[in-house]
Chain A
Amino acid sequence: MSALLRLLALTLCLAAASSPFIPAVHAAEAVEESDLTAIPMGKGLPVTVRVGVMFHEVGSFTPDEGAFEAITDLRLSWEDPRLRYPAKEAPRGYKESVGSAAEDEIAKIWTPRVSIVNRPEDASFTIRRLRIYPDGRVETIARATAGYKTPVNLARFPFDQQKLNIEVALREDVVESVDLDFSPADVAFSRAAQGVEIGGWEIGLVNLRRDLVKGWNGDRYAKVTASLSVRRDAAGAIATIFIPLFASLLIPFMATWMNRIEDGAFAVDAFELANVIIGGLFAVIALSFTISSSYPTLAEGDNTVTQLLGLNYVALAVGLLITVFLYRYNLPKRWFGAHVQEEVFLFLTWAFPLVSLLVGAACIAAAAA
C-alpha cells in the first residue's frame, strides 16, 4: 500500500514539473540571460511596466452601444538593465526608432505582452515608436485608431458622467512576473489632447486605476484602466426626451379635469373619459417604444426615463380608477353621500396633477443630486 502511495506521489511530482501551468516566473528563470527577448530579471521580479494613455481624438461615443472610437497613444515604459549603454552613444539622450524600424527593434527585445481587453476588434491603424535610454529605460508608444467597449451607467441620466475606458491588461504574465503600474509622469501624460470634442458631452480628466484580475489556481494578472471622464450636456436631453414624457402626463389629468358636477351628478359620461385614458395608454406605449428603439440602454434598468415612464403608467392607472370608481360607479356617493363625492372630485382635480408632477420633478432632482 505504501509503495503504491509513493508511486502516486512520484507521478504527481513529475506531472507538476512538466505542467504548462507552472508560474511564468519559473519558466522565465530558465531562459538564458543573453536572450534579450526573455524577461529582464536584472532588477528582480516583477518587472514593473508603467502605463499611460493619451486620447488624441474621440471620433464618436454611443452610450446605447457602450462603445466609442478614439485615436490614442498607449505608452508603456519599463527598465531592462541589459539594454543599458554609454550615454555618449545617444546625443539626444535616447535611441529612437519609429514605424517599421521600431518593429524590427522591438522584435529583438523583451516587451510586455499587453492586450487591450475592451477593444473587440483590431485597431484600424497602428504605429509604434521605441525609445531606449542609456540607463536601460525602455519606452514604447503605440498610436492606434480603434473602437472600444465601455460600461455605461445611466442611473443619473441626463446628469450622468460616463467613463471612456481603455483597459490594458496582461493575460500571460502573472503579477509576480510582470506588473502594470503608473507614476505621476504617466498620470500627467494621460489626458485628452487640446481640442478633443464629443457632441453633447463635456470632456473631463483622465484617471488611471490599477486592478488585479483573478486567474486560475490563485494566479492574478495586472490591469491598468485609463478612464476619460465625460459629462453629458443635460439641456440637450431635456428637449428630446423629457418634454414628451411630461406632456404625456397631461392625458390622465385631462380625463380628470374634463368632468364636472351638475346637481350632484357627473356631467360627462365615464365611457368618454375612459376612452381618453385608453388613448393615453397607447400614447405612452408608443413613447416607450420610441425611447427603447432610439435609446435602448435608457429603456433598461433604473433611471430617470424608466421612472418617468413608470410614473406615466401609474398616472394612467389612477386616471382609470378615478373614471371607473368615481365617474362610473359613484362609489364615494354610495358609501358616504353626494357631498363627500363632490369634495373628493374637487380634491382630485388639483391633488392628482400636483402629486404626479412633484414625483416627476423628484425623479429628475434625485438624478441631479
Chain B
Amino acid sequence: MKFSRSAPAVLIGAVAVVIAAVTFVSNEISHRMAASFEAENFALMGKIAHSKLSGAETKALSAAEQLAASGAVRDAFAARDKDGLYAVVKDAFAVQREKYGMSQAQFHLAPAMSFLRVHNPKRPAEDLSHYRQIVLEVNHAKAARKGIEITTSGLSVFGVLPMLNVDGEHIGSFEMGLELGPLLDELKKTYSFETALFIDEKMLRETATSLSADILNEQNRFGKFIKFYSTHGELLRQLADGDDLNVVEESHYLRDAAGTPYGVLLQPVYNYAKKQIGVLLVAQDFSATRSADGQAAVWQLLLGVVSVVVLIGVILIVVRGVLLRPLREVVDPVAALADGRDVDAVEVAGCDEVRDLAENVEKLRARLTAAAKIEGGAP
C-alpha cells in the first residue's frame, strides 16, 4: 500500500460518501416536507369539496322545508289539487330558481309517483321508483333525506321531505334540487380550484333520457365517463384521461398542464343509494411547492458538491503539503545515508513532527559524516 496515494483516496472517498449521504438525507427531508404540505393541501381540497356538496344538500333540504311549510301548499297537496298547488308554489319556486340556483321542485305520491313537477308542470306524472331511491326511502321511512341522484334531466343535489296533512297523516313527499355546476363555479371563485364532474356514461344514458346532446357527446367522453360539468374544459382535458378516472376511493396525483404543475384530487361521487355514479376532479396549481422542492434539491446538491470539493482541497493540502512532501525531503537523504552517499545538510519546513524527524536525521548525518572523517583520517 502506498500511503501517498491510498491515504488521500480513502479520506476523499469517506468525505464524499458522508456528504453524499447527508445531502441525500437532507434532500429527502425537504422533499418529504413538500410532499407532506401537498398531502395536507389535497386533504383540504377534499374536505372543502365534500363540505360544499354536503352544504348544498342541506341548502336543498332547507329550501324544500321552507316552501312546504305553508299551510296552503299542504292543503292543496292533500286535496290532490294540482293546479291549485302549482298556483301556490310557482312564484316562490321562481324566486328560488332565479336567485338561489334551485333547479327542481317536485311533489310525489307514495311510493314514488311524480305528482307535480313545479319546474316543468306540463310533464305528465310518472313512476320514479326505478331510479329515485331517495324518494322511495322518504316515503317509506317518513323522514327527510338528502343526497345526489341522477334524474331524467341530469344530476342534482336533492333535499326530500315527507308531506303530512293537517291531521299528521303521510300524504307523499316534496323535494327541491340544486344543480351542481354553480357549486363547482363557487369553488373556483373562492378557492381557485379547477373542478370537473364526470358521470358514468352507462348510468347517465339509462336515466338522464332528456339530457342535452351538449353533454352526451364524443368530446366529453373520458373512458367510461362523461364530463358532466367543468370549470375549464381545455385545462381539465390535460389533467385527466379516462384511465385516471377509474378510481373507487379518493386518490391524487401531480400533472403538468399548460406548463404548470397541478395537484389533481379525484373523489368518487356516490348517489343516495351509496352507489358510485362518477368522479369529482378537483385541481389546484401546485407550482409554488413544486418549484420550492426543485430549488431545494438543486441548492442542496450544490452545497454537497462544493463541500466535497472544499474538503478534497483540505485533505490534499494537508496530506501532501504538510506531511508527505516534507517527509519525502527527509526520506531521500536517509536513503542516501543508508547507501553511504554524501548528503547535504537536511533542512525541512513542515509540521513539528517532520521538523523533529529532519533535525534527528540531520544529527545522524552529522555524526556519520564526523565518524567517516575520523575513520578516514586515522593512521
Q: Which A positions have Cβ atoms within 8 angstroms of B?
A: 43-44, 156, 161, 181, 183-184, 187-188, 191, 202, 204-205, 207, 209-210, 229, 231, 336-344, 346-347, 351, 354-355, 358-359, 362, 365-366, 368-369
Residues of chain B with a CB closer than 8 A to A355's CB: 306, 309
Contact stretch, chosen from B36-44, B57-65, B147-155, B289-297: B289-297
What residues of chain A lie closer than 8 Å to B231, measured between beta carbons? 184, 187
Docked complex Cα distance between A9 and B108 (Å): 58
Interface of B toward A, CB cutoff 8 Å? 98-99, 181, 185, 189, 192, 229-235, 258-260, 290-291, 293-295, 297-299, 301-302, 305-306, 309-310, 312-313, 316-317, 320-322, 325-326, 349-350
Tell me if A's interface is mostly helix, strand, loop or mixed: helix
Knowing A342-B321, A355-B309, say if A362 contacts B99 (CB, 8 Å). no
Q: Is the CB of A340 within 8 A of B317?
A: yes
A362-B299 in contact given A355-B306, A355-B309 (Cβ < 8 Å): yes
Distance, CA A43 to CA B94, complexed state (A)? 10
With a CB–CB cut-off of 8 A, which chain B residues contact A342?
321, 325
In contact, B189 and A229 (Cβ under 8 angstroms): no
11 contacts between A and B (CB under 8 A): A187-B231, A205-B234, A209-B192, A229-B260, A337-B349, A339-B321, A346-B316, A347-B317, A362-B298, A362-B299, A369-B291
Alpha-carbon gap, A249 to B295, bound state (A): 23
- When distances are taken between beta carbons in the complex, the residues of chain A under 8 Å from B310 are 351
Q: Which residue of B lies closest to A224 (CB)?
A: B189
Contact B297 A184 (CB under 8 A): no
Q: Is the CB of B232 within 8 A of A161?
A: no
User: Does A184 lie within 8 Å of B185, measured CB to CB?
Assistant: yes
A358 to B313, alpha carbons, bound, how many Å?
16
Nearest chain A CB to B15 CB, angstrom units: 14
> A191 to B234, alpha carbons, bound, how many Å?
10
Whether the pair A369, B298 counts as a contact (CB closer than 8 A) is: yes
B145 to chain A, nearest CB (A): 30
Using CB atoms, name the residue of chain A closest to B234.
A205
In the bound complex, CA of A340 to CA of B348 (Å)? 13
Nearest first, the 9 closest Cβ-Cβ pairs linking A and B are A369-B294, A343-B321, A340-B321, A337-B349, A339-B325, A362-B302, A347-B313, A343-B317, A339-B321
Cα separation A70 to B349 with both chains bound (whole Å): 75
Contact check, B299 vs A366: say whether CB atoms are below 8 A apart.
yes
B322–A210 touching, CB < 8 Å: no
- Chain A's closest residue to B317 (CB) is A343
Asked, given contacts A184-B229, A204-B259, A347-B313, whether A338 binds B234 with beta carbons under 8 Å apart, the answer is: no
Q: In the complex, are the beta carbons of A358 and B98 less than 8 A apart?
A: no
- The answer for the CA separation of A111 and B150 in the assembled complex, in Å, is 39
The answer to whether A161 and B233 touch (CB under 8 A), given A340-B317, A342-B321, A369-B298, is: no
Shortest CB-to-CB span from B92 to chain A, Å, is 14
Establish whether residues B185 and A183, one from each chain, have CB atoms under 8 Å apart when the complex forms.
yes
Identify 20 new A-B residue pairs, CB closer than 8 A, beyond the known A207-B232, A362-B298: A44-B99, A181-B189, A184-B231, A187-B231, A204-B259, A336-B322, A337-B350, A339-B321, A339-B322, A339-B326, A339-B349, A341-B321, A342-B325, A343-B320, A351-B310, A351-B312, A351-B313, A362-B302, A366-B299, A369-B295
CA distance A183 to B188 in the complex (A): 10
- Residues A366 and B298 in contact in the complex (CB < 8 Å), given A229-B259, A231-B259, A339-B325: yes
**Chain A residues with CB under 8 A of B189:** 181, 210
Asked if B258 contacts A184 (CB within 8 A), the reply is no
Please state if B233 and A184 are interface contacts (CB–CB under 8 Å): yes
How far is A359 from B310 in the complex, measured between Cα atoms in Å?
Answer: 14
Q: Are B259 and A347 in contact (CB under 8 A)?
A: no
